């Protein structure tokens, strides 16, 4: 009887060793981070929370009361590590990933099967947006990503789309449209205003992308996802106004070309005028310089004596007489 119990104990010990001890070793890859839980509770860094981390500075006061997560102990790449049967390891990739901004993870058929996101401009025009989002899981807030939010990427995408649509709906070009410069009293029809609106958005894509990155920076503290870049690449108008927009852009390009040519011709004329003035100035200086030298010589001669100038004039006159063929003299 005793041998039976010994056999059962040894069998249980062997099973426990194979099931939990040998399989309790694990490693963490280079692009991964891991969090260990004991009886379902993540290993934490004391009582520290995300409010103690600089990422909380991007939250407003109301959100700071809502998004408070404990800081957990992050297991870095390497190993082998060991876990007990009552412990569980959650691994997550921290590599940068790219996702289509129009993709709806809950409804894949939405937004034209995840290919184009619709938005409404300030002048009530429906436009299509295309682009990508680069993001990565935040190592500094793994608790929010693993345990606090059920589908972090879904929340992040919804947060991004909401901010983007609000920005498109309220966007105004800070520099104004070049089509309207100098024409304060110009009355424009609806098609032209549509062209101005879409052109402003297209010309300011970098500004919109920078705005999105700035506004979505708090996603790291909210959902444990860090935005790397917002890449809006295309803004498409509705098909019914596409021809009107093309005509407006063509006219605008022609006007811009004519203005550039006029400026180039004006610059060339100015340069030529400056050169002509320089040439005439040099010619005048060349004519005046001998006279100035002669005046200087005469002043020096006058200092030599009162009769020196008379003698100089007599000698000059005699030289001229020698060169002349005919001399006309006035007789009193």
Give CA–CA dist 300/245, Å, rounded.
81
Burial class (CB in 10 A: 0-12, 13-18, 19+), 63: middle
- Does residue 80 have a cis peptide bond before it, meaning omega lies within 30 degrees of 0? yes
328 within some domain: no
260 within some domain: no
Burial class (CB in 10 A: 0-12, 13-18, 19+), 88: middle
What pLDDT score was predicted for residue 106? 86
325 within some domain: no
Angle subtended by helix axes 205-215 and 152-170, to nearest 10:
130
94 within some domain: yes
How far, CA to CA in Å, does 332 sit from each of 18, 85, 329? 148, 143, 10
Give the 3-state secondary structure percentages of the chain, helix then strand then coil, rounded to 5: 55, 20, 25
Question: Across the 332 residues of the chain, what is the mean pLDDT of every consecutive 10-residue run?
Answer: 69 68 80 91 89 88 89 89 87 91 87 86 82 90 89 88 88 54 43 55 84 87 87 75 60 77 86 88 84 78 74 76 74 69
Among 150, 139, 141, 137, residue whose Cα is nearest residue 50: 141
Dump pLDDT digits (tens) for 27-36: 899 999 999 9
128 within some domain: yes
51 within some domain: yes
> What's the CATH code of the domain at 174?
3.30.479.30
48 within some domain: yes
Give CA–CA dist 210/230, Å, rounded.
8
The number of folded domains in the chain is 1
Among 98, 136, 122, 107, residue whose Cα is nearest residue 219: 136
Domain around 162? 2-237
């Amino acid at each position: 009887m005793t041998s039976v119990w010994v056999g059962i104990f040894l069998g249980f010990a062997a099973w426990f060793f194979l099931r939990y001890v040998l399989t309790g070793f694990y490693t963490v890859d280079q692009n991964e981070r891991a969090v260990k839980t004991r009886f379902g509770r993540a290993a934490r860094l004391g009582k520290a929370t995300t409010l103690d981390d600089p990422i909380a500075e991007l939250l407003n006061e109301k959100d700071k009361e809502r998004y408070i997560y404990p800081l957990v102990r992050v297991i870095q790449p390497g190993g082998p590590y060991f876990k007990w049967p009552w412990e569980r390891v959650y691994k997550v990739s921290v590599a940068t990933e790219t996702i289509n901004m129009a993709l709806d993870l809950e409804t894949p058929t939405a937004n034209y099967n995840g290919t184009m996101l619709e938005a409404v401009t300030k002048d009530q025009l429906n436009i299509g947006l295309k682009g990508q989002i680069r993001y990565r899981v935040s190592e500094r807030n793994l608790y929010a990503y693993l345990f606090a939010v059920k589908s972090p990427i879904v929340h992040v995408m919804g947060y991004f789309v909401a901010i983007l649509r609000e920005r498109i709906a309220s966007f105004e070009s800070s520099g104004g449209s070049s089509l309207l410069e100098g024409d304060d009293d110009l009355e424009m029809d609806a098609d032209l205003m549509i062209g101005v609106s879409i052109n402003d958005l297209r010309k300011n894509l970098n500004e919109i992308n920078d705005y999105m990155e700035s506004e979505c920076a708090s996603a790291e503290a909210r959902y444990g996802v860090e935005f790397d870049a917002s890449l809006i690449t295309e803004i498409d108008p509705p098909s019914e106004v596409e021809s009107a927009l093309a005509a407006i852009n063509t006219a605008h390009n022609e006007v811009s070309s004519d203005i550039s040519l006029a400026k180039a011709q004006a610059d060339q004329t100015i340069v030529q005028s400056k050169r002509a003035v320089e040439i005439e100035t040099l010619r005048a200086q060349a004519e005046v310089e001998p006279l100035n030298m002669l005046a200087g010589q005469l002043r020096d001669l006058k200092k030599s004596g009162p009769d020196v100038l008379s003698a100089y004039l007599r000698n000059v006159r005699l030289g001229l007489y020698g060169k002349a063929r005919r001399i006309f003299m006035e007789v009193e």
